Amino acid sequence: MTTATAPSIVAGTYAADPVHSVVNFKVRHFGITWLRGGFSNFDIKLVAGEDGALTLEGSTPVQDIEFPNEQLHGHLMSPDFFDAELHPTLSFTSQDVTLAEGGEATVVGELTMRGTTKPVTLAGTWSGPVEDMGGAQRIGLELAGEVDRNDFGIAWAAKLAGGQDVLGRTVRIEGEFELARI
C-alpha cells in the first residue's frame, strides 16, 4: 500500500545525494550516554508514481558501518552483532509512505538486518521541492525510528558490576536525505 504524495512532487525516481545525506544510529552505552555510528555508503530511492503513489527503498553494505573505534568495528562485523560474512547487507522496503501537506512524513516498512525482516515505522519531516542549480528537482526527507536489536538476532549482552547493561537493546535510526530526481 502506498499513499498519495503532496501534489508538488513531480512523478519520477529521486535518489539520495550522498554528499548531502546521512544515515546514523545510536544505542545507549552503560545506560548513561549514546554510542553512535553511521553508514558511509548507502542507496536510498524514493519513487513517486504518476498516480501520486510513493515508495521508499534503501540498502547499505554492513561492512560500511562507520564507527569511531576499529576494534569495536570488528566486533560489530562478528556473529555477536551483524554477522557481516553471512549477512552482508541491511535493507529497507516501504509498504506505506505519507508525505503530508504540512511537512510531516511517515514511512511504514520492513527492515531486514542479519537475515531477519521486521516491521518498522519511521517518522519525521519532508520539505521542497526546490530546483537545484542544474535544474533537477530536489526534496528533503528526515526520518527517525527505533528498533529492538534483539528482534533481529543481535542479542550480545553484558552487565556492569552495578547491574547496568553495557549496551542497550533499543537502537535509534536516523536519516537525513537530500533526494534528487534522476
Task: Convert the pLDDT of each residue in 64-108 to its tens digit.
Answer: 999 888 888 999 999 999 999 999 999 999 999 999 999 999 999
Cβ burial, residue 171 (10 Å; 0-12/13-18/19+): buried
Contacts 24+ apart (CB under 8 A), 98-106: 98/3, 98/54, 99/3, 99/5, 99/6, 99/9, 99/54, 99/126, 100/6, 101/6, 103/127, 105/141, 105/142, 105/143
Tell me: pLDDT of 19 over 60.
yes
Q: Give percent of the chain above pLDDT 70.
A: 96
Number of domains in the chain: 1
Residue 2 located in a structural domain: no
How many CA atoms, within 13 angstroms, populate the side-chain half-sphere of residue 164? 9
Structural domain boundaries enclosing 94: 12-181
pTM of the model: 0.91
SS3 assignment, position 81: coil
Residue 6 located in a structural domain: no
The CATH number that applies at residue 25 is: 2.40.128.110
Tell me: pLDDT of 164 over 80.
yes
| Segment 121-145 mean pLDDT | 96
Residue 7 located in a structural domain: no
Residue 79 located in a structural domain: yes
Kindly report whether the peptide bond that precedes residue 79 is cis, defined as omega within 30 degrees of 0.
Answer: no
Tell me: pLDDT of 7 over 90.
no
Task: Convert the pLDDT of each residue in 37-48 to its tens digit.
Answer: 999 899 999 999
Which 8-state DSSP code applies to residue 17? -
Residue 1 located in a structural domain: no
- According to the model, what pLDDT value does residue 3 have? 52
SS3 assignment, position 179: strand
Task: Convert the pLDDT of each residue in 151-160 to its tens digit.
Answer: 999 999 999 9
